Amino acid sequence: MSDESPARRGRLFLLVTLLFGAGTLHFVTPKFFDAIVPPSLPGSARTYTYLSGVAELTVATALAVPRTRRLGGLLAALLFIAVFPANVQYTADSLRNPKAGLPVKLISVLRLPLQVPLVTSALQIRRAA
């Protein structure tokens, strides 16, 4: 990582931190994540919560280790694409919920387009590795 630009190091740090944090939260507060698992998926929402938490921790580790960073970049991009339906579900639920405050509704809507820079950053990290 020492020969990378500050922007690349910053992007890498951001993705690793985001994935480690989110992955950890899947185990600390699983009910929140259970609630955004699309109901059309078969099986238990908790299973998807734990599997996605493990995936996020695994991908964060792959990104953090220089030897596996190229693979980690690809896996991160695929993971961000894979969890997009849950983000859409969260947004739909928030917008339909009359008890959800305006900040929750705004954040849920605004985070959807943020998936694009997450995917592109992951792919840039992959190319630079």
pLDDT in single tens digits along all 129 residues of the chain: 445 788 889 999 999 999 999 999 999 999 999 988 988 999 999 999 999 999 999 999 999 999 999 999 999 999 999 999 999 999 999 999 999 999 999 999 999 999 999 999 999 999 998
The angle formed by the CA atoms of residues 115, 118 and 89, to the nearest 5 degrees, is: 25
Which positions ≥6 away from 123 have C-beta within 8 Å?
73, 74, 77
Contact between 24 and 17 under an 8 Å Cβ cutoff? The reply is no
- Under DSSP, the state recorded for 65 is S
DSSP reduced 3-state for 17: helix
pTM for this model (two decimals)? 0.88
Domain range summary for the chain, segments of one domain joined by + = 6-83+115-128
